[in-house]
Amino acid sequence: MIYGARTHSAARQLRLVNEMEYRMKLTRIVLIGLLFISATASANYSRDQSMTVAHLNGIDVAYTSVGDINAPSVLMIMGLTGSHRVWREDFINGLAAAGYRIILFDNRDTGESARLNALGEPALWWQWLKNTAGFKVDGPYSLNDMAADSIAVLDALDIEKAHIVGASMGGMIAQIIAAEYPQRTASLVSIMSSTGTRHLPRSERRGENGREGMTEAELHDLGFHLEAVPRQLTAIYASGDRSEQVRTIAVPTLVLHGEDDTVLPVAHGLHTHELIPGSTYISYPGMGHRLPPELVSTFVSEMTNHFSAAAEAVTEVNPQELSDEIQLP
């Protein structure tokens, strides 16, 4: 009887332990779900959300942020003529929901930031001719000035260091930040961008971005400001070949490029990767000079993995370390 009673007690205790473990597992599942819902709610980014406009680096710059203000920061820099509204909402919300604070802003001459008409409008054909012939190009402002705008946004938000992400011209600016402001750069992501090296293939502009035939008003609604072309494109020409500067980048770097890009052919992305010690290169078959919706989740995954790896790194990137090259099937 005593033995049987003890057996019964042990069995009962085992059931209680199993029940407690089940409840604890269930509680963890619920908590994870609540955290995910909370993160998703905090990542409720809309292209039309209000912006803060402040006088930074001598001009008015519009900026906003998405996600938990205490989370690691990611600064997003858009390309030629594009305001922050060009970034896909699902892309920004995906990054924020993954546990990051996303900083968005409008480059000078776009969106709600200052129009620098007083600086004049360069004759683009003449700037193109000088650039093609290898002569020095001078413009109203440079990509270095735009990089300083980006740093000023971080200063305004009291952000000491951020992951720097740039697309196309924004990638060029991001490269400059990584090279010239390494103490402010947690990592670099260069998307469909270039080093400006002269031997690289020139743009074919066959129109693979799906915006052919759109009116200026329609492009404006998407966040593009074509009036910025003369000054911003001249800034790219004026920056010239940045290869030697790119070689100095020592922060963890991820280079993403579309294999069907005709604006900046894939050789531009590969060259960026080859110049940056320890960088990771990923090319995407079928992708042109834009982020297609079917690759949004892939980009979020690759980038957040990169951010995490950069945060976990205990030593700086070894300049002698061989680069990894990844080709997606």
SS3 311: helix
Write out pLDDT tens, residues 26-63.
444 333 343 433 444 345 788 888 999 999 999 999 99
Bigger pLDDT: 40 or 110?
A: 110
- The first and second tokens of residue 24, run together, are 């604890």
Closest CA to 240 of 190, 194, 180: 194
Is 50 exceeded by the pLDDT of residue 322? no
CA dihedral 204, 292, 220, 78 (to 10 degrees): -80
Question: In the 8-state DSSP scheme, what is residue 197?
Answer: -
* Per-residue pLDDT band at 95 (split at 50, 70, 90): very high
Any idea which of 137-141, 144-148, 284-288, 306-310 has the lowest mean pLDDT?
A: 137-141
Q: What integer pLDDT is reported at residue 107 of this predicted model?
A: 98
pLDDT digits (tens, 9 = 90+) for 77-89: 999 999 999 999 9
In the chain, what are the domain boundaries? 1-42, 49-327
Closest by CA to 223, choosing from 159, 167, 261, is 167
**To which H or E segment does residue 260 belong?**
none
Distance from C-alpha of 33 to C-alpha of 37, rounded to nearest angstrom: 6
- What's the pLDDT tens digit per position in 270-281? 999 999 999 999
Residue ranges of E strands in the chain: 52-56, 59-66, 73-77, 101-105, 162-167, 185-191, 253-258, 280-284, 324-327
Architecture of domain 49-327: 3-Layer(aba) Sandwich (3.40)
The pair of three-digit structure tokens given for residue 320, joined into one six-digit string: 């002698």
Task: Please count the CA atoms within 13 angstroms of the CA of 260 that sit on its side-chain side.
Answer: 12
Q: CA angle at residue 125 from 82 to 236, to 5 degrees?
A: 40
Q: List Cα–Cα distances, 270 to 83, 145, 163, 167, in angstroms.
A: 26, 26, 21, 15
SS3 155: helix
Q: What is the pTM of this model?
A: 0.81
